[in-house]
Chains A and B, each alone.
Chain A
Amino acid sequence: RKEVEQDPGPFNVPEGATVAFNCTYSNSASQSFFWYRQDCRKEPKLLMSVYSSGNEDGRFTAQLNRASQYISLLIRDSKLSDSATYLCVVNMDTGRRALTFGSGTRLQVQP
């Protein structure tokens, strides 16, 4: 079983749609959680951190469910520019501050 699992997609949605991604992680002692965005053939960039209480940044909402060990990302009013791969990222080892990356969920927003 992968340490961080995501549905690879692709998710094909029309502009203006709401889309949600889920991610599960294996280590119940994991401390920190993030969503990164990666555009085609580019480096990953932090989209948002995920807090226990849930957090929102504009059209993006992230939720954490520690009991079920999953993280979600909701995108409202999708834009063409949201097309990218979304990486679920978990910190499982605070000692080295290394992150464990999911393989990503690809989103394609269509006009």
Chain B
Amino acid sequence: NAGVTQTPKFRVLKTGQSMTLLCAQDMNHEYMYWYRQDPGMGLRLIHYSVGEGTTAKGEVPDGYNVSRLKKQNFLLGLESAAPSQTSVYFCASSYGLADNSYEQYFGPGTRLTVT
């Protein structure tokens, strides 16, 4: 049981390049999330998904797109990377509405630098 995994762990991009971050969970969770973490700002929600085939915007969605074609995977795309997107990206997952627990399980993070 690997929990939540993220690939890649590190990446350096040039401005304007594109990339996709992959998140996978093996806990059969309904809900999945993408956050970014910047110094002094806490984690901010980018996009989230409440089930396979669904996505929704979070607090800071601009410049990112997501897809959830399979329940276990949640992809985060950067179409044209900007230096302001330099950050640590965390994926998380949690159970659905039937469960009262709000515990979110996080992946190990992806450190992205855009030059």
Once bound together, how far apart are the Cα atoms of A80 and B42, in whole Å? Answer: 24
Of all chain B residues, which has the CB nearest A87? B42
Q: Which of B54-103 contact A (CB under 8 A)?
A: 56, 58, 90, 94, 97, 102-103
Q: Which residues of B contact A104 (CB under 8 A)?
A: 42
A42 in contact (CB, < 8 A): yes
- Is B50 in contact with A43, judged by CB distance below 8 angstroms? no
- Is A97 in contact with B42, judged by CB distance below 8 angstroms? no
A17 in contact (CB, < 8 A): no
B43 in contact (CB, < 8 A): yes
Number of chain B residues whose Cβ lies closer than 8 Å to a Cβ of chain A: 23
- Is A99 in contact with B102, judged by CB distance below 8 angstroms? yes
Q: Which residues of A contact B103 (CB under 8 A)?
A: 34, 46, 49
- Taking a contact as CB atoms closer than 8 A, the residue among A4, A34, A98, A103 that contacts B58 in the complex is A98
Q: Which residues of B contact A61 (CB under 8 A)?
A: none
- Taking a contact as CB atoms closer than 8 A, the residue among B35, B102, B107 that contacts A97 in the complex is B102
Once bound together, how far apart are the Cα atoms of A96 and B42, in whole Å? Answer: 19
Of all chain A residues, which has the CB nearest B50? A96
13 further A-B contacts with Cβ under 8 Å, apart from A43-B109, A44-B43, A49-B102, are: A8-B40, A43-B90, A43-B106, A43-B108, A46-B104, A49-B103, A91-B102, A97-B31, A98-B58, A99-B45, A99-B102, A99-B104, A101-B44
**Which 5 A-B pairs have CB atoms at the shortest separation, nearest pair first?**
A43-B106, A103-B42, A101-B42, A101-B43, A46-B103
Binding site for A on B (CB under 8 A): 31, 33, 35, 40-45, 48, 50, 56, 58, 90, 94, 97, 102-104, 106-109
